[in-house]
Structure 1
Amino acid sequence: MAVAGASLLANRSASSAAELLMLEQPGCVWCKRFNEEIAPAYAKTDEGRRAPLRRVDITEDWPVDLEGIRPERLTPTFILLDKGVEIERMIGYPGNEFFWGLLDDMLSKLPAADTAAAD
């Protein structure tokens, strides 16, 4: 089952040039807050379509397809990837008021072809 899950994640990564990793762990209060305030709507937003959210539990083995990405101990941490390469990271969740603006700043650093494909 784990192999099938890893294969699914690898296929998902390959099909989407950009993705937003969310590094999380059980008991993370700020992860819970993100899950309440942002997560329900994220996939329905322009930002969510440009960089789909992929969750990574830092208490589990680091995914093989993320070998070139530096793990983080602080959660949540959001890492914007483009074709598997880190573009930028946001350490912590700044709350609903600031998250979207900071995410837009991160997304503006994606190559033009990736941002145009989402439009």
Structure 2
Amino acid sequence: MLHKVLRFAVAALAAFWLPAQAFAAELVMFERAGCTWCARFDAEIAPVYAKTDEGRALPLRRVDRDKPLPDDLAAIDPGAFTPTFVVVDQGREIGRIRGYPGDTFFFGLLGRILIAAPALQARS
């Protein structure tokens, strides 16, 4: 019993002291300059994304495909095409959307990823 209490205390302290980003799920958008579909996403989705349920559950993080990947995304394959959207949770890929299929399909596909990931549902 004491062992469980100590584990809980350590986890609680780690959650308090470590940056929130280390534990947060996010939607990583791999993009590059001049990408027509990235621009379309920027026009149709980007202005409202953070205000949606999906945006609150999975904050959008943009990564330039033509620059070195950040260390925390080293295990994630950004794919060859832009945009590529990857749902990442604790450094692991949960699902991805290749390309930008338009606003209706984008939210539908993202919703399917969320439904398939019970751990993400429990946090939202």
* Structure 2 SS opposite 1:88: strand
Alignment of 1:98 with 2:109, yes or no, is: no
* 1:2-29, Cα deviation, whole Å (9 max, x unpaired): xxxxxxxx9452142x110000000000
Structure 1 residue ranges without an equivalent (≥5): 1-9
Q: Report the counterpart of residue 27 of structure 1 in structure 2.
A: 34
Q: Which structure has the larger Rg over C-alpha atoms?
A: 2
Identity, % of aligned positions: 53
Structure 2 residue ranges without an equivalent (≥5): 1-17
Q: Report the counterpart of residue 123 of structure 2 in structure 1.
A: 117
CA RMSD, 1 decimal: 1.6
- Following the alignment from structure 1 to structure 2, what is the Cα–Cα distance between the partners of residues 11 and 60? 24
TM-score by length of 2: 0.80
Deviation at 1:110, TM superposition (A): 2.0
Q: Counterparts of 1:44-55 in structure 2 under 5 Å?
A: 44-55=51-62
- Following the alignment from structure 1 to structure 2, what is the Cα–Cα distance between the partners of residues 11 and 56? 19
Alignment of 1:13 with 2:21, yes or no, is: yes
* Structure 1 SS opposite 2:67: coil
TM-score by length of 1: 0.83
CA contact (8 A) 1:79 1:87 kept: yes
State the AA in 1 paired with 2:111: D
Q: Aligned pair count?
A: 107
Q: Which moved more, 1:88-97 or 1:25-34?
A: 88-97
